[in-house]
Structure 1
Amino acid sequence: MYFYKNEFIPKSDIHLSPDDRGYYFGDGIYEVFRVYQGQLYEQEAHLQRLQRTANEVRLTFPFTIPQIGQILTDLVAKNKLIDGTVYMQITRGEAPRAHPFPSHAEPVMLAYCTEVPRPAATIHNGIKAITFADIRWLRCDLKTLNLLPNVMAKQAALDHGVQEVVLHREGTVTECSASNLMIVKDGVLYTHPANHLILHGITRAVVLRLARALDMPVKEEAFTTDQLANADEAFITGTTVEITPILEVDGGPIGTGVPGPHTRKLQEEFVRTFA
């Protein structure tokens, strides 16, 4: 069961218009929610980010934020989803192709559920990554449909036989193709500050909160690819990856080449709290 425009309907009954601005301009916004035990994880934080992105791109919602929250809750219930994800997007609507905002278009909302188990093996065993130039636009804090640079980056990782890329701007690490990045050095947790160069990840914020609760020193400041290579630990954070260790970057090990103690402690606390 999907939600499209104003109703819950089967996927087969959805007919997307070729005039939808999300189709030919990427003119829309989205969120991906994790569902644990039938409950939307960090729902309020996701909806707040959705509202912020909508404000920044001047997109009007077809529903209020409380109504959207209820629609997503109902969608999970109708699909009897226990563990998985909910994807939702809102486009500016249908209009003849022209760059200016259309004056009479009505925003279109689409949402659906996917049954996805926790990637337990990857979370436990870790992944490998390569570095990759961050060539995206300068509003990476907005969760819009314009994801071709992220797609290209992720494919570059797969082409090199690894699972993720670490994006950098002239040597300064930002984030990854679909996740935020953190490193640990001498017991201190570092991650890029939440400015316009990275997505303000929901799980990123959760991990920082957990780290502070565990009395782990945290510094939200930029670090370089050299600092990453010399880190004691590194891991990515995200809605679908939770806290996943990075064991190797560009063929060189991070720390001892196995998930570190701080990463493991944060993973344990995350599972205890949410999953």
Structure 2
Amino acid sequence: MKNLGYYNGEYDLVENMKVPMNDRVCYFGDGVYDATYSKNHKIFALDEHIDRFYNSAGLLRIKIPYTKDELKELLKEMVKKVDDDEQFVYWQVTRGTGMRNHAFPSEDVKANLWIILKPLKIKDMSKKLKLITLEDTRFLHCNIKTLNLLPSVIAAQKTEEAGCQEAVFHRGDRVTECAHSNVSIIKDGILKTAPTDNLILPGIARAHLIKMCKRFEIPVNETAFTLKELMEADEVIVTSSGQFCMATSEIDGKPVGGKAPEIIKKLQEGLLNEFLEETN
């Protein structure tokens, strides 16, 4: 298949799949998701993504109708059905199906599992990003990877209209994260990245970046930083599952970064090699 959609045991090309109108995702966005990439039909960092997925579901009291091992085996089976050997691997669970009601459905209603797979390569890390900044108006549970993504949708549109690739959110003067990724800075040879509190999603790529810094003996400071620090950083790094370590050249039309290219190159090469080794 060229792509794949899956819903509660049935699968077909994504464009052929149909889901019930009463799936609670339609009314409330009542669910959580996670995503990563595969190469050679091997899924990268699957254990970490599954752990985060179950944690997000648990925080919303959604009972996933599979064990972690069962879900991992299902995802591994599904990626083999797509012809392309480099894929974007996405899955979500919704609270279930029932007539519209804000309160949870009865306990005998099972959660719904979705899987979407499509050919997609990881980003070329040799390219630099242009960013904009936006006030973070999301709710106070950003650590849960929910399906309620309207603020990110609006941010993505504003980013595109500005001719940029990503938006950096901030609450007052504190930088939180990007619309679809985490943001960190390098200053005086130290990586500074926001703490994993309720204002950011604990990114898997962010965690791998921290581990890679420690491998190369680059000091890491997990404390909040300001917009001023962002603009004055030696480097600004954007991380996500598809872009492990992307450097930034511009924010709000002003040049930034470019002062520690040797650190950027070392981290990019290390993270890419990690991905290639795990998916070989």
| Shorter-chain TM-score range | over 0.9
Q: What does residue 261 of structure 1 align with?
A: 262
Aligned CA distance change for structure 1 residues 158 and 259 (closer, same or farther; 3 Å): farther
Aligned counterparts of 2:145 and 2:28: Cα–Cα separation in 1:
15
Q: What does residue 48 of structure 1 align with?
A: 51
Instruction: Indicate whether 1:239 and 2:221 are aligned.
Output: no
Deviation of 1:11 (Å): 3.6
Partner SS for 1:196: coil
Q: What does residue 112 of structure 2 align with?
A: 108
Counterparts of 1:7-22 in structure 2 under 5 Å? 7-11=10-14, 14-22=17-25
Aligned CA distance change for structure 1 residues 228 and 13 (closer, same or farther; 3 Å): closer
Q: What does residue 273 of structure 1 align with?
A: 274
- Is contact 1:126-1:259 (8 Å) kept? no
Q: Deviations over 1:160-185 (max 9, x none)?
A: 11111111000100000000001000
- Is contact 2:184-2:236 (8 Å) kept? yes
Q: Which amino acid aligns with 2:219?
A: P
Structure 1 runs, 4 residues or longer, greater than 4 Å off: none
Partner SS for 2:118: strand
Q: Deviations over 1:214-253 (max 9, x none)?
A: 0000000000000011000011000112211111111211
- Is contact 1:2-1:75 (8 Å) kept? no
Partner SS for 2:110: coil
Q: What does residue 217 of structure 1 align with?
A: 219
Aligned counterparts of 2:40 and 2:270: Cα–Cα separation in 1:
17
Deviation of 1:127 (Å): 0.8
Aligned counterparts of 1:37 and 1:187: Cα–Cα separation in 2:
35
Q: What does residue 86 of structure 2 align with?
A: 83
Aligned counterparts of 1:38 and 1:188: Cα–Cα separation in 2:
36
Q: Which amino acid aligns with 1:273?
A: E
Q: What does residue 165 of structure 1 align with?
A: 167
Which runs of 5 or more residues in structure 2 are unaligned?
none
Q: What does residue 133 of structure 2 align with?
A: 131
Deviation of 1:189 (Å): 0.3
Identity %: 35
Q: Which amino acid aligns with 1:147?
A: L
Q: Which amino acid aligns with 1:76?
A: V
Aligned counterparts of 2:126 and 2:39: Cα–Cα separation in 1:
18
Aligned counterparts of 1:156 and 1:140: Cα–Cα separation in 2:
20
- Is contact 1:246-1:259 (8 Å) kept? no
Deviation of 1:259 (Å): 7.2
Q: Deviations over 1:74-120 (max 9, x none)?
A: 00112144112111111111111110000042211110211112322
Partner SS for 1:50: helix
Aligned counterparts of 1:159 and 1:197: Cα–Cα separation in 2:
26
Aligned counterparts of 1:233 and 1:57: Cα–Cα separation in 2:
36
- Is contact 1:167-1:175 (8 Å) kept? yes
- Identify which range, 54-63 or 72-81, moves more after superposition: 72-81
Aligned counterparts of 2:249 and 2:113: Cα–Cα separation in 1:
39
Partner SS for 2:80: helix
Q: What does residue 24 of structure 1 align with?
A: 27
- TM-score, normalization: structure 2? 0.93
Aligned counterparts of 2:48 and 2:270: Cα–Cα separation in 1:
19
Q: Deviations over 1:192-225 (max 9, x none)?
A: 0011100000010011001001000000000000
Aligned counterparts of 2:183 and 2:190: Cα–Cα separation in 1:
14
- Identify which range, 30-39 or 12-21, moves more after superposition: 12-21
Aligned counterparts of 2:15 and 2:205: Cα–Cα separation in 1:
33
Partner SS for 1:16: coil
Deviation of 1:3 (Å): 2.2
- Is contact 2:6-2:17 (8 Å) kept? no
Aligned counterparts of 1:259 and 1:131: Cα–Cα separation in 2:
22
Q: What does residue 68 of structure 2 align with?
A: 65
RMSD: 1.4
Partner SS for 1:17: coil
Q: What does residue 97 of structure 1 align with?
A: 100
Partner SS for 1:162: coil
Deviation of 1:10 (Å): 4.1
- Is contact 2:132-2:251 (8 Å) kept? yes
